[in-house]
Amino acid sequence: MKDRVRFLIDTLNKWAYEYYVLDNPSIEDREYDKLYDELRAIEEQTGEVQFDSPTKRVGGEPVKGFERHAHVHRLYSLDKAVTSEQLTAFFNRIKKVVQNPEYTVEYKFDGLTMCLTYDKGKFVRATTRGNGVEGEDVTAQCLTIKSFPLAIGYEGLLEVQGEAVIRLSVLKDYNETAKEQLKNARNAAAGAIRNLDPKVTAERKPEILFYNVNYMGEGGLATQQEHSEFLRRNGFKVFPYLKLCQSEEQVASAIEEIEVGRKSLDVLTDGAVIKLNDARVREDIGYTDKFPRWAIAYKFEAEEAETVVKEVRWQVGRTGKLTPLAEVEPVDLGGVTVKKATLNNLGDIARKGVKVNSRVLIRRSNEVIPEILGCVEHTDESIDVQKPLKCPFCGGEIVETGANLFCVNRECKPRIVAALTHFASKGAMDIEGFSEATATQLYEVLGVNKPSKLYSLTTNDVAKLEGFKDKKISNLLAALNKSREVALDRFIFAVGIDGVGKVASKALAEHFGSIENLSRATAEELVALDDIGDITAQTITGWFADEENLKELAALQENITVTNNKKIDKSGIFGGQSVVLTGTLSDFTRSEAQKIIEENGGVCQSSVTSKTTLVIAGESAGGKLAKAQKIGVKIIDEQQFKQMLK
Ligand SMILES: [Zn+2]
């Protein structure tokens, strides 16, 4: 029986490999089904299922949410070049380090980047790229895809990288019978993988094209070409195009080849990837914050089209900024019908000469909403876009700062809704199941006008919202509870300082280490960071100078423990403690003391809250000390602090 099972598994896997990886089946479907049924019957009888059995290729029950999982090695994204000058700059950087470099050129597929982990020859898990450091565990979803092996010859720890895509022909077939049409192959692929129900993944039939070995425990691969060969040898699906180029001219002609070739491809592509072939010198060339310096993605020009502006509406964002959004005559752009296009601000409208009823050029790049590039021609009916004199939502006062207009009313509804939605969003507090509609209801029904108020919501409160029943209520409250501990960079992003995105938040978190340090930073210190410009630096210092913001910040810290992004040693002497430093210490600066506490497992807070477990009071400590005494938090002085460190 054992031999028969092994025979069935090996035979079925070989056939599946021929069918799904090589696109070259050697048998009829019904022959496959016959052996598959036999294997299933034996498995049911014995209750034993081998790890590489093809019967594991069903995703099983829907999952409740995606666990996050750290990659063994960071998955970098690639820097982009859109002009030949940028490409030349890339070559020049390489040539400073490597003589006569050799390059590989490959297709760049437009889907969802995946990372598959193997250990001891067995498939362990599949994750999305996520932020490069950690991604979402999509193993159940991925198991329904058959273009990768469950068992491989390589025995060490291994992480391979690929792009999950849906073929254009498969998407077309799917749309012919689907209730809900999927418009774009990239979103369809991402939606298929990031779907809680593996059955949906299976229905949409994504596949994965592998192109990189991200981590290899034992042995090594000397070149990009070897990466490709290794993947193929171990049974992964690899797209059959990898051009080896000895000169920049050869790279240029390979790019041209891809630009022409991609038009007849059944898979969505948006560029070419150029890598230094020799993997051994890559470390010498190194990495920027975000990208490897030894590889680049050459992106083909985004799609453009002409259309007519019908109307311009103003939207109010979380900072009160008014953003114009143009409604345009529907136009097809790369297979997607476009009805809306963005303009940046009032200044942008003037600079581009955009008027209502004028013909404009729009471009869709990676953004969801295309952008208006400029005006093509005016007509007799062209009229200027009206600059709003008061807020279109609350009727409140409008202030003009540079090229931007702001509604200054903090109680303006769209501002509040946008702020709450942003606070809960992915990359911020990541409160699952919290949508813009949730934010709107929370504000309208319960008067939640600040993120800090979310943390006092009760079951009874949430039950007042439309569509919220038992399960949904407990899900929302559980998600809120889960967000009570968050990494510093995500917290910085969540509070929503204008111009401070995810990248800047990360840089700020890494540099300053705490909200308290960040709040004291001067504009000069901020500008010194790579990701912070003049205007953003001013915005940050201005944000921390605002009384209302500080009040809200303190209210948030009452409810949320902000952890340093660095790994915390919870067994240290301050393990599990929330510590507030106040007054002046004679032997340490504030940030030295803070560093010591954090390195020993403690979390530093900027103000005394109900969560504070310890206050270290130096000379002339004031309000914080008084508050600590009032609520009965343990207080020690500098001598005792030093004693602890011994
Ligand atoms: Zn307003």
Distance from the alpha carbon of residue 405 to the mean position of ligand 1, in angstroms: 11
> Lowest-confidence range among 20-24, 210-214, 321-325?
20-24
pLDDT at 605 over 80: no
Ligand 1 centre to CA of 276 (Å) is 52
Neighbours of ion ligand 1 (CB under 5 A): 391, 393-394, 396, 407, 409, 412
Lowest average pLDDT, out of 135-149, 189-203, 255-269, goes to 255-269
Q: What is the pLDDT of residues 163-178, one digit of tens each?
A: 999 998 898 888 888 7
Distance 391 CA to ligand 1 centre (A): 5
Could you tell me the fold of the domain covering 303-406?
A: OB fold (Dihydrolipoamide Acetyltransferase, E2P) (2.40.50)
Give the distance (Å) from ligand 1 centre to CA of residue 329. Answer: 28
Confidence tier at 24 by pLDDT (50, 70, 90): confident
Assign 434 a pLDDT band (cuts: 50, 70, 90): very high
Phi then psi for residue 150, to 5 deg, are -90, -30
Tell me, in angstroms, the distance from the centre of ligand 1 to residue 544's CA. 22
Cα-to-centroid distance, 392 and ligand 1 (Å) = 7
Residue 638 has pLDDT above 70, yes or no: yes
Give the Å distance between the CA of 396 and the centre of ligand 1: 5
Ligand 1 centroid – CA 417 distance (Å): 12
Q: Residue 289 carries which DSSP code? A: S
- Per-residue confidence at 367, pLDDT binned at 50, 70, 90? low
pLDDT at position 431: 94
Could you tell me if 583 and 590 are in contact, meaning their C-beta atoms sit under 8 angstroms apart? no
Among 268, 209, 199, CA closest to 237: 209
Give Cβ neighbours of residue 520 (< 8 Å, ≥ 6 apart).
Answer: 544
Average pLDDT over residues 467-495: 94
In this prediction, residue 322 carries a pLDDT of 94
**For 391-420, what is each residue's pLDDT tens digit?**
999 999 999 988 889 999 999 999 999 999
Task: Determine the Cα–Cα distance for residues 436 and 442; give it in Å rounded to an integer.
Answer: 10
Task: State in Å: Cα 370 to ligand 1 middle.
Answer: 26
User: Do the beta carbons of residue 178 and residue 204 sit within 8 Å?
Assistant: no
CA distances from 581 to 513, 593, 594, 644 (A): 15, 8, 8, 15
At 167 the pLDDT is 93
**Cα 510 to Cα 492: distance, rounded to the nearest angstrom:** 11
108 is catalytic: yes
| pLDDT at residue 84, as a whole number | 81
CATH topology identical between 2-56 and 567-646:
no
User: Among 14, 95, 96, 108, which one carries the catalytic annotation?
Assistant: 108
Please report the pLDDT score of residue 368 as a whole number.
65
Q: At 337, is the pLDDT very low, low, confident or very high (cuts 50, 70, 90)?
A: confident
The predicted pLDDT at position 545 comes to: 95
Residue 631 CA neighbour count, 13 Å, CB half: 15
pLDDT range class, residue 595, cuts 50, 70, 90: confident
Q: What is the pTM of this model?
A: 0.52
**pLDDT value at 110 more than 80:** yes
Return d(Cα 326, Cα 161) in angstroms, integer. 39
Cα–Cα distance for residue pair 81/8, rounded to 1 Å: 49
| pLDDT tier, 439 (very low <50, low <70, confident <90, very high otherwise) | very high
User: What CATH code would you report for 80-299?
Assistant: 3.30.470.30
Helical (H) or strand (E) element with 256:
helix 248-261
- At 365 the pLDDT is 60
Lowest average pLDDT, out of 210-214, 256-260, 451-455, goes to 256-260
**Structure confidence at residue 359 (pLDDT):** 93
Annotated domain spans of the chain: 2-56, 80-299, 303-406, 413-483, 567-646
What is 567-646's CATH superfamily?
BRCT domain (3.40.50.10190)
* Closest to 58 in 3D by CA, of 67, 48, 46, 49: 49
In this prediction, residue 601 has a pLDDT band, given cuts at 50, 70 and 90, of confident
Band (535; pLDDT cuts 50, 70, 90): confident
pLDDT of residue 476: 94
Distance 316 CA to ligand 1 centre (A): 7
Element (H, E) at 614: strand 614-617
Question: What's the CA-to-centroid distance between 313 and ligand 1, angstroms?
Answer: 14
2-56 has which CATH code?
A: 1.10.287.610
Output 122-128 pairs: Cβ under 8 A, ≥24 positions apart: 122/51, 122/52, 122/150, 122/151, 122/152, 123/51, 123/52, 123/148, 123/149, 123/150, 123/151, 123/152, 125/69, 127/69, 127/71, 128/193, 128/194
Average pLDDT, the chain: 89
CA of 343 to the centre of ligand 1 (A): 19
Q: What is the fold, at CATH topology level, of the domain defined by 413-483?
A: DNA polymerase; domain 1 (1.10.150)
